[in-house]
């Protein structure tokens, strides 16, 4: 018992070396404060500024995450479905400008023109304002319905691309879809367009989402909502042409907002222009 108590009393006292170290540190801090107070205030400013930056970044990311809740998240599964449709149609992935011009000359690619309901991103190369005929029909129909609802134009940001253009895009943006393989960009076949999301109100976004949800449920489009470039990336099936002929009135009075996203749209997110 005596030995236990003796050991306990010794362990309750801090080691002499630790006391000495704490005293030395305190003296050094006091010396710095009195010798160069401006350095202390500068250090305090840096720490405070960094604290505010970290706090602001945390709050911004949290807010951005809360606001980013799309119905159609970009995913690998979606890219696979887009390429399956291209393969079903036996369409080529357009390699270069020579192939692009040949498809235009044959009428397999048609021009997309600005209208009362559709505007085109000025920076989009005029030589790439082309797509498949059924894709142009989709753009025309959506833009007219959107204009009728909101009296505002919808904007086309991108249409057909060549493999060379996609490869160049990949050099600047590693999140862009590949130029080949099972997940290659469907822009390469001319069946896909990007429509501007940025600047839309919540009501306008939900309107377009419900519109696309309806067509997606019919197997006519494969949409994604890109986060980095804030656009609707929409691949259009050639089945759209036949379906369109059955519509005596091109309706959409969009149905009530769906409670859940379509199957497989919540897979791994990709930040890319596809």
What torsion, rounded to 10 degrees, do the Cα atoms 109, 81, 196, 176 define?
-90
Q: Measure the CA–CA gap between 167 and 179, rounded to whole angstroms.
A: 6
Residue 42 pLDDT exceeds 70: no
Whether the per-residue pLDDT at 100 is higher than 80: the answer is yes
Is the model more confident about 163 or about 60? 163
pLDDT at residue number 233: 96
pLDDT at 43: 44
Domain residue extents for the chain: 2-66, 70-245
* The CATH number, out of the four listed (2.60.40, 3.30.1380, 1.10.260, 3.30.450), of the domain defined by the range 70-245: 3.30.1380
Residue 155 has pLDDT above 90, yes or no: yes
The upper half-sphere exposure of residue 43, i.e. CA atoms within 13 Å in the direction of its Cβ, equals 8
Predicted pLDDT of residue 16: 54
Q: Express each pLDDT in 168-187 by its tens digit.
A: 877 776 667 877 788 899 99
Continuous segment of H or E residues that includes residue 231: strand 231-236
Please report, rounded to a whole number, the percentage of residues in the chain having pLDDT higher than 70: 64
Per mean pLDDT, which range of 55-59, 118-122, 124-128 is the poorest? 55-59
Model confidence pLDDT, tens digit, residues 210-226: 999 999 999 999 999 98
> Residue 225: enclosing H or E segment and its boundaries?
strand 221-226
**Residues 10-16, mean pLDDT to the nearest whole number:** 50
Q: How confident is the model at residue 127 (pLDDT cuts 50, 70, 90)?
A: very high
d(CA 233, CA 265): 13
**Worst-scoring range by mean pLDDT, 56-60, 112-116, 197-201?**
56-60
pLDDT confidence bin for 266, thresholds 50/70/90: very low
pTM, full prediction: 0.68
Which are the contacts of 103, defined by CB distance < 8 A and separation ≥ 6?
Answer: 94, 109, 130, 190
List Cα–Cα distances, 232 to 63, 181, 222, in angstroms: 21, 23, 10
């Amino acid at each position: 018992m005596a030995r236990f108590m003796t050991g306990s009393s010794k362990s309750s006292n801090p080691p002499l070396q630790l006391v000495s170290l704490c005293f030395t540190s305190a003296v050094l801090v006091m010396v710095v404060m009195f010798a160069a107070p401006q350095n202390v205030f500068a250090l305090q400013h840096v720490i405070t500024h960094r604290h505010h930056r970290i706090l602001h970044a945390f709050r911004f990311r949290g807010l951005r995450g809360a606001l980013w809740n799309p119905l159609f998240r970009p995913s690998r599964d979606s890219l696979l479905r887009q390429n399956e449709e291209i393969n079903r149609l036996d369409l080529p992935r357009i390699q270069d400008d020579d192939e692009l011009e040949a498809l235009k000359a044959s009428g397999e690619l048609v021009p997309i023109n600005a209208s009362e309901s559709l505007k085109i991103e000025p920076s989009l190369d005029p030589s790439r304002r082309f797509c498949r005929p059924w894709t142009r029909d989709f753009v025309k129909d959506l833009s007219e319905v959107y204009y009728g609802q909101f009296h505002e134009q919808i904007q086309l940001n991108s249409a057909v691309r060549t493999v060379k253009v996609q490869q160049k895009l990949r050099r600047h943006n590693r999140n862009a879809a590949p130029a080949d393989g099972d997940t290659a960009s469907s822009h390469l076949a001319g069946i896909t367009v990007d429509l501007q999301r940025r600047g839309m109100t919540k009501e306008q976004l939900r309107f377009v989402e419900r519109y696309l949800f309806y067509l997606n449920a019919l197997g006519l489009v494969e949409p994604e909502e890109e986060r980095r470039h804030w656009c609707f990336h929409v691949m259009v099936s050639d089945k759209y042409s036949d379906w369109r002929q059955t519509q005596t009135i091109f309706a959409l009075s969009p149905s009530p907002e769906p409670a859940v996203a379509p199957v497989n749209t919540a897979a791994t997110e990709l930040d890319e222009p596809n």
